[in-house]
Every structure is written in C-alpha cells, then in structure tokens.
Structure 1
Amino acid sequence: MSDALPEGIHQFLGDTDWKGAEIAPLVGDASFRRYFRLRMGGKSALLMHAPPPHEDPAPFIHVARWLDENGMRAPHILAHNSAEGWVLIEDFGDQRMREWIDEHPGDEHHVYAQAIDALVRLHRLPPGPFDPYDMEVYRREVDLFTEWYCPAMRLNIDTAGWRAAWDEALAPLLGRQAPGVTVLRDYHAENIMLLEPGRLAGAQGLIDFQDALVGHPAYDLVSLLQDARRDVSEALEHDMLCRYRAAADPDDHFEADYARLGAQRNVKIVGIFTRLWKRDGKDRYLSMIPRVWTAMERDLSHEAMAPVARWFADNIPQQIRDAAGGKVQ
C-alpha cells in the first residue's frame, strides 16, 4: 500500500481542531483501513480512513459510542465523516497487550486476568443494539474453510456434509446465547491497549470492535485464549477460564460451548488467512495457521464436536492435518 496520504485528508481535518497537524502513517491491519497519528501542540489523536465501498466506518462509531456510554474503555469519537470514511478518535498510545507481555513475560498472568475481568464487566451489561450472532452467521463463517482452504490444498470434500455437521454441532448452543452478550469478535492481545502499563489495575482500551454482534459469552474468551497471533499456553487458558467461571458463573454447558465456538472460530480463521494469501497476496498470515490449527484440533476432540470431527476424519487426509499443524504448502 502506498505511503501517500489519501485524497481528502486535509479537507477533512480542515473542519476539525486538528487542521495543520503533523500526520504520520501507522502500520495497518488485514483490512482496507489505514491509520494516521496526528500531533499538534503537544497532543495527539488517531485518524482512521475506512473508505467506501470496501469499508464502512459507521459500525465502528456505533459500537464505540455504545461501549463508551456503558463504561467500557473505547476511544472517544472526536469527529467523523462516514460517507468519505474518515473517523478522528482518541489516541490510546502504542502499548498493546501483546508487546507488553513480550517485553514483560512475568506480567502475562496478571495482564490476561485484567482482560478476563474486562469481559466479565462487558458480559454483565445488557446486550448492545447489535445484530445477532445467529446460525446464518456461523454457517457463513465456517464456509470460509471449504471455500478457501480446501481448494488451496486441492481437496475434494463433502460440502453438504460439512454444513450438516456444523448445524448439528452448533444447534445446542443457540438457545443458550439468548438474550446474549455483546461479542466484540476480535478480542485478543493485539486489540487490547494498556492505557496505564505497569499499574496493577491499569485501564485497558478496546479497539477493532466494529463487527460486534450479540451472541454467546464464550466467543470472545476463545478469541483471547486461543489467539491466532501469539502462543497462549494450555495452563494459562485453563487458569483464565477458571477465573471467568468464578466471576460469571456460566451454565453447565459452558465447557462444551467453548469448544464449539473454539472450533468454529479457528476454522473460520484458517479460511480467512488462506483468503488473505490467495486473494490479497498477504502470505504472512500463513505462518499463523499451524497455531490456529493446533487449537482447532483440541476443540474438535471434545465430544460436543463429534459431527465435525467425523467430517474431518473423512475429508481431510491425516497427513495434511499432521503436516505442520495444517500449514498450507
């Protein structure tokens, strides 16, 4: 992507208090969004460019305001022009949870505990005014695996059986996710900002939540504890799940539903990372697939995932599953 500033950036800033600010591009993510840090008079802000038709900043603004109004730490919206894809927001700084733990490994347990506590607070709120995480969405997401990964591996698979297996596996949890909680959908160590690093009770800032839906409380736990981008030990995963259970007191089906949504999310991610490679030329995500695949295999071993596990046994050759944790060749 070009380092040139997008067309219209100065016109947008000209209508804000940040006219004439120093503009520095920041590293983007896997989307079409771009980010810029503005500096002026000793202060800073972030500018997000989410240009139509590939992006729509309206959902980000909608979710950010709901989180902010309900006591969760989302960046304040300073100015926006949704039609042209501009959103000016509060600057949370550069200290992500991921880098802090890399630099201070002894803090890992404590920082993850803070992230769990934030989810507990979120889940105690009434669900936000967002669309449901229903079976249609689950199906669409798991189909990314058969649409992208399987063709990349030149596999001839039973597509009808795939959908039937997921319908059978996921159907039991649908009733248990009503009325539901707000699901941020990408809650992990690279999307959690440490606003007061080093403090035992430092605030955590939330980012990348524009796809929020109303669904099952286990989903964001899976996103955090089966992280596609960094290794989370099974021991830490266990400890954090125990912490969540002690605070939230979920029902007796929670372990099974965690496995269901773990498998669902990890299958989706394998499909997305393959698509980023095949469609968008972003092959750096391929190196993350083995980590995701390993977590997926653990989820598939739970009895709740028996229908999908049988499909994998019948359709994905064992040598592919064994080779580097399912890494695309």
Structure 2
Amino acid sequence: MNDYSTIELHLPDDAATQRFGQDLAAALHRGDVLMLKGDLGAGKSTLARSIIRALAGDAELEVPSPTFTLVQSYQTALPAYHYDLYRLGDQDEIFELGFDEASSSGVCLVEWPQMAEAHMPADGLVISLTEADDGGRYAELAGPKEKMDRLNRAMEQRRFLENSGWRNARREYLSGDASARHYEHVFVEDRDAILVDSPALVPAGPMNSTKSYADIAHIALNCTSFFAVGEILRGGGLRVPSIYAKDLDNGFLLLENLGHDGIVDADGKPIAERYLAAADMLATMHSRAWPRTHVEAGISYELPPFDRDAIMAELDLLVDWYVPERTGGPAPSSLRAEYHALWHEALDGIEEGEKTIMLRDFHSPNILWQEASEGSDRVGLIDFQDALWGPSAYDLASLAFDARVDVPANMENAILERYLERRKDTALFEAEGFRRAYALMALQRNSKILGIFVRLNRRDGKPGYMRHLPRISGYIRRALDHPRLGSLREFYIRNRLIDNVE
C-alpha cells in the first residue's frame, strides 16, 4: 500500500526499550491499536508496561502481565487496554473480552495479535521485536502513514530533548487541549520540565474570498507567539514559565514547570481567594503601559488587534455550529443578518475604550497558583500564545465567567467589584463604560464558546465539551442582564438561543 510505511530501530537495552515506550505513548490517539509481535522474551511486555506507565504518569505503576486474565484495563490519560492473546482458544473469543469497545474508546496494546488475526484492524500499528546480538533488541514498526507520521513526530520530540541537554529523559503524558498542542512532563535526575509540542497549523479553507478563520481571528499558527508574548509579559513582571530550550521552527518548547495547583479545589469548585487574586493581577496588569511588539535577533512579533473582523468571525461560530445543534438545520440568512446588525450596533460603543494586552483565555485551566509567592507572582500564566491587543474588560470576563467552572453570580460580582476597586485611581479609567464592555465581552466570548464546544463534538469527535453547554448558556443569560444589551437580549430569547429565561 502506498500509504503504508516502516521504521527500524535498535534498542540496546531495557532502558532504551522503556524510553521507546514513552515515545510511543506520546504519539497515541484514542482508537489506536498496537499489535506487539515477537517470540517469548522478546520484550513485548516490557514495551507495553512502559507505554502504560507513561500514559498514567506513574513510573512505578504496577502493570502485571495479562497472560491468564487475557486483558487488563487502566484508567490513564487515554484509557489503556493491555491484551495478551497467547492463551486465546478461538479468535471470536476476543469479542467477549470487550475488544470492540476498547479499540474505539481507548488505546489497545495487543500481545500475540496473530491469535486473533482475522479481527485485528487493518489500520493498526504493528511492532515486531527481535533479539539483537548485543543483548538488546530490534524493533520494526509498520503502519499507515498518518500513524507513522505521529510516531516520527514523537521521535523528533525525543531528539529535541536530547539536543537540549535532557538526554534519556523520562516522559509522562500530561495533557492536550482543544487545539493540536501536546504537553508532557519530562524528568532527568532531579530536574523536571514541561515539553510543549506545538506543530505549525495549516489554516482551513478561506472563510471569505481571501482569508481563513485563523487569519481573521488571529489564531497563533506556530509557537513563536508564545515565546514573544511570554517575553513581553515577563518584561512587565508577570509570572510566566522560564524557557529552558526552544526550537521555534519545529514547534518545540521546554518550559519551567509551574506546578499543578490551580484556582479550583479538588471538586472543581472555584476558590474565591484565588479568583480575587487573579482579578487583582489583571487590575495591576491593566494599570501599566505595555509594549505591543517584541523584537530580538531573528524575531519581530506584534500583538494582533482584537478588531471588528476578529470579533465577528468568533461570533459566527454560534450561528454556524450552535444554531444548527439547537434547531436541527442551518441558520436562516435572516437570522444571521439580524445577528450581525445587532452586534455591530453594540460594538460601536466600546471600540474607543481602554486597550491593552488581552490574554484571551484567562480562566482556570490556564492559571497555576504559586503558593510560595506574593502579590501578582501568585498567579502563574501558561496559555497566552493567542494573546491580542484588545479591550481590558475581556480577560476579566473570561475569568469571572469561567467556561470550565460554575462561578456563582455573587462570586462573579465580587470579582468585578474587586477589580473596579483596584482600578479606581487609574488615570482615565471609567467604571461605567468598563461595566458595559465587561458585559458585552462576556456575551461575545460565551457565544463563541457555545459554537466552539459544539464544533469540537461534531467535527473533532470530542463530546466531553458538550457537558459545559448549560453553564455557558447560563452565563449568557447573566451577561444579557446589562440594561444596555436589551436588543441583543430580545434577539437571543426570541430565537431560543438560551433556555429558561424568566
């Protein structure tokens, strides 16, 4: 087959096999099936154990061989299912072991796949292990190009680590996000860091006659923006990760680990003190004059504007994705035209307002609490590559209407009032104008998010985001309570874009 490729590797010892398993774990996606072939003692279980431990983020995790149970399951970052089919009596028995569900819901590692060869997927990745004369082993990998490209990318990550002074680093899967970015926790002796893989994005087809959505909405296409914006923020005294190593051309960064302590508790509820501290940080940030550009050898970066075109492109996500989800069909052209007209009218009142660095996604997943620090340094920032130059009200709305957390109305109001109190002595700051901009940006952001979360489900096969829709809809109802948003409120209610309006 033209789209089938192979790779051969020499693994001189068990440590190399374990590192290879970590590299494989970094490349896996939900639905992948790895067929591990080789004689007894060839290293299949060693490799499977390393993959599972990397996915679990636990180098000491007990991973027994499923020789007698035939299958063991693990609730890791990606659900993992470890099969050993050596004792399988009949090929069809594999279905009694839940193979169909496992191979669609998680990652399957299958030792002795030839015992159920008729039921192995044609697009699976085959890894054949054989002994080498030096006491190590050879690994031959074969699979479809898309899967092999992922594996090659994981091996490029390994080379980046080695070239950055992190040779033989242990890798543990950390997380991904709604984008194509990938994160890992890496360790060498007593050092640890966060590996960021941010491959260059190829924008989808044009949204209009000349530009894509990514162009219009100013979505970062590579990790240069993360580096440049981070340097601007660091220069202004904000707490961002130090960069230990970078390869901007290939999209790799090695960052300081700011920890895992966020601004929500173990049950996912907001910690009021930390949300208020984050509002304090924004008030301090917005009281300063910031450069809009970062220039150094080989890099010149300017923060793009959150202009009318970008705002409207984001708002169209609600019409393009959420309206069809609600109604079962595409939005009528009349609805779109009225929606645009009302939004253009509403935006006319804020474009001359205060502008500053707009972090864009300033909410709980992207804020790491630094308990040992003081003041603004307690608020660690980790996701700012899509930062823009825009209304100061936007980031406060992003925080107080946290898309991932139920922020009750009284806490949201406390966050707003805390911010206003901290800004009252800022020259030219006008509180009532800020309140209106805050409500409007909350409405704009949450309208966009409704569309994005539906798109993640419909287009990208990520249904988990749908559970957030009731919260986002509730935030929209709250934002629409502002007295100067009456026309938009009537539109959202009349077109049933929100529920349970009294």
| Partner Cα separation in structure 2 for residue 162 and residue 201 of structure 1 | 39
1:167-205 Cα offsets, whole Å, 9 max, x none, are 01111000113xx11110111122110122698987221
1:104 Cα deviation after fit: 10
1:127 Cα deviation after fit: 3.3
* TM, length-normalised to structure 2: 0.60
Partner of 1:110: 273
After alignment, is 193-202 or 35-44 more displaced?
193-202
**Contact 1:188–1:223 at 8 Å: present in 2 too?**
yes
Partner of 1:126: 289
1:215 Cα deviation after fit: 1.2
1:195-249 Cα offsets, whole Å, 9 max, x none, are 2269898722101111111111111111111111111111111112111111112
1:31-55 Cα offsets, whole Å, 9 max, x none, are 1111111111211111100112355
User: Which structure's residues are more often strand, by fraction?
Assistant: 2
Which of residues 340, 346, 349 in structure 2 aligns to 1:169? 346
| Partner Cα separation in structure 1 for residue 492 and residue 254 of structure 2 | 45
- Shift of the 290–78 alpha-carbon distance from structure 1 to 2, 3 Å rule, reads same
| Partner Cα separation in structure 1 for residue 261 and residue 443 of structure 2 | 30
After alignment, is 289-298 or 1-10 more displaced?
1-10
Aligned residues with identical type, % of pairs: 32
Q: Which amino acid aligns with 1:125?
A: R
How many residue pairs align between the two structures? Answer: 316
| Partner Cα separation in structure 2 for residue 146 and residue 276 of structure 1 | 15
> Is 1:71 the counterpart of 2:244 in the alignment?
no
Partner of 1:159: 336
> Is 1:16 the counterpart of 2:164 in the alignment?
yes
3-state DSSP class of the match of 2:186? strand
> Is 1:244 the counterpart of 2:392 in the alignment?
no
Q: Which amino acid aligns with 1:133?
A: F
| Partner Cα separation in structure 1 for residue 475 and residue 460 of structure 2 | 25
> Is 1:309 the counterpart of 2:484 in the alignment?
no
**Contact 1:228–1:292 at 8 Å: present in 2 too?**
yes
| Partner Cα separation in structure 2 for residue 94 and residue 293 of structure 1 | 29
Q: Which amino acid aligns with 2:248?
A: S
* TM, length-normalised to structure 1: 0.89
3-state DSSP class of the match of 1:210? coil
1:301 Cα deviation after fit: 2.7
1:103 Cα deviation after fit: 6.0
- Shift of the 267–213 alpha-carbon distance from structure 1 to 2, 3 Å rule, reads same
> Is 1:33 the counterpart of 2:156 in the alignment?
no
> Is 1:88 the counterpart of 2:251 in the alignment?
no
Q: Which amino acid aligns with 1:25?
A: Y
Where in structure 2 are the equivalents of 1:196-215 lying within 5 Å? Answer: 196=371, 203-215=378-390
| Partner Cα separation in structure 2 for residue 114 and residue 210 of structure 1 | 22
- Shift of the 62–257 alpha-carbon distance from structure 1 to 2, 3 Å rule, reads same
| Partner Cα separation in structure 2 for residue 23 and residue 97 of structure 1 | 26
Q: Which runs of 4+ in 1 moved over 4 A?
A: 197-202
**Contact 1:195–1:205 at 8 Å: present in 2 too?**
yes
Gapped regions of structure 2 (runs ≥ 5): 1-27, 30-54, 56-150, 203-220, 293-302
Bigger radius of gyration among the two: 2
Larger RCO, structures 1/2 (Cα 8 Å, 6+ apart): 1
1:137 Cα deviation after fit: 1.1
| Partner Cα separation in structure 1 for residue 379 and residue 482 of structure 2 | 32
Q: Which amino acid aligns with 2:258?
A: F
3-state DSSP class of the match of 1:97? coil
Q: Which amino acid aligns with 1:159?
A: R
3-state DSSP class of the match of 1:102? coil
Q: Which amino acid aligns with 1:138?
A: I
| Partner Cα separation in structure 2 for residue 127 and residue 173 of structure 1 | 20
**Contact 1:131–1:213 at 8 Å: present in 2 too?**
yes
1:126-170 Cα offsets, whole Å, 9 max, x none, are 234212211111111111100111122225431111111100111
**Contact 1:222–1:258 at 8 Å: present in 2 too?**
yes
> Is 1:299 the counterpart of 2:472 in the alignment?
no
Where in structure 2 are the equivalents of 1:167-316 lying within 5 Å? Answer: 167-177=344-354, 180-196=355-371, 203-249=378-424, 250-251=429-430, 252-314=432-494, 316=495
| Partner Cα separation in structure 2 for residue 75 and residue 198 of structure 1 | 14
- Shift of the 298–9 alpha-carbon distance from structure 1 to 2, 3 Å rule, reads same
| Partner Cα separation in structure 1 for residue 408 and residue 169 of structure 2 | 43
> Is 1:145 the counterpart of 2:318 in the alignment?
yes
Partner of 1:7: 155
3-state DSSP class of the match of 2:385? coil
Q: Which amino acid aligns with 1:241?
A: L
Q: Which amino acid aligns with 2:438?
A: Y
| Partner Cα separation in structure 1 for residue 245 and residue 198 of structure 2 | 14
Q: Which amino acid aligns with 1:115?
A: A
Q: Which amino acid aligns with 1:122?
A: M
CA-atom RMSD in angstroms:
2.2
Partner of 2:107: none
